[in-house]
Amino acid sequence: MMSIAVDALGQKIIDRYQKGFPLSATPFKDIADELGVLEQDVIDCVSSLQQTDVVSRVGPVFNHKKAGDSTLAAISVPEELLSEVAEMVNQFDEVNHNYAREHKYNLWFVVTATDQQHLKKTLQAIENKTGYPILNLPMEQAYHIDLGFKLNWS
């Protein structure tokens, strides 16, 4: 996939505001003041980052543990059935990430639910739907989580 070019203002906004987006009445104005540009430039820039899908949203990343319960799950699927089974898994609203990975367990997805019981039921439903047993790997301890990591623009 071709990567999308981001202009200098976009790079600055991404570098500075993956965390700590201003919680004031006029956040885009605050950003503009800090970066020395016009409010409209910031609004246009963020809109364009969303349109090109570089930015999926400006908003919260919820703590799964506090917002409900979640787990990392994997199943082992014959390669030729992978897309088909992935689509079945995607049908569940509780699934928010779903990747193919190079391993005997080749389909990896994250399931989030409002509580543990709902999570269990969802895993069971996915097993029933796909016909494959799930490897259920709930997080026991987080040492480090930083998906708002520093990007290398070069």
Partner 1 sequence: MTELNDIQQQALKCAIQEGLPVDPRPYQVLADIIGSSEQEVISCIEKWINSGLIKRFGLVIKHHKLGYNANAMVVWNVSDELVDDIGERIKQSGLVTLCYRRPRRLPNWNYNLFCMIHGKDRSQVLEQLEQLREVCQLNEIEHDVLFSYKQFKQCGGRFHKQHPSSPSTPSTYQWNIEKKAVNHG
Site for partner 1 in 16-55 (CB under 8 A): 17-21, 23-29, 39, 43, 46-47, 49-50, 52-55
Which of these, 136, 13, 142, lies nearest to 65 by C-alpha position?
Answer: 142
**One-letter identity of residue 91:** Q
Residue 131 beta carbon to partner 1: minimum distance, rounded to whole angstroms:
17
The one-letter amino acid code at 43 reads I
Q: Nearer to partner 1 by C-beta: 37 or 108?
A: 108
Nearer to partner 1 by C-beta: 80 or 101?
101
CB of 65 to partner 1, least distance (A): 9
Q: From the list 12, 77, 109, 126, which residue makes contact with partner 1 (rule: CB under 8 A)?
A: 109
Nearer to partner 1, 52 or 117 (CB): 52
Strands in 135-137's sheet, in edge-to-edge order, are: 107-113, 69-75, 135-137
What are the structure tokens assigned to 130, written together? 């796909």
CB of 46 to partner 1, least distance (A): 5
List the interface residues with partner 1, window 60-79 (CB under 8 A): 60-64, 66-68, 70, 72
Q: Is 131 in the site for partner 1 (CB under 8 A)?
A: no
Closer Cβ to partner 1, 128 or 152, answer by number: 152
**Phi, psi dihedrals of residue 78, rounded to the nearest 5°:** -55, 135
CA distances from 12 to 24, 45, 89 (A): 20, 11, 37
Question: Which residue, among 51, 53, 45, has the nearest Cα to 17 in the 3D structure?
Answer: 45
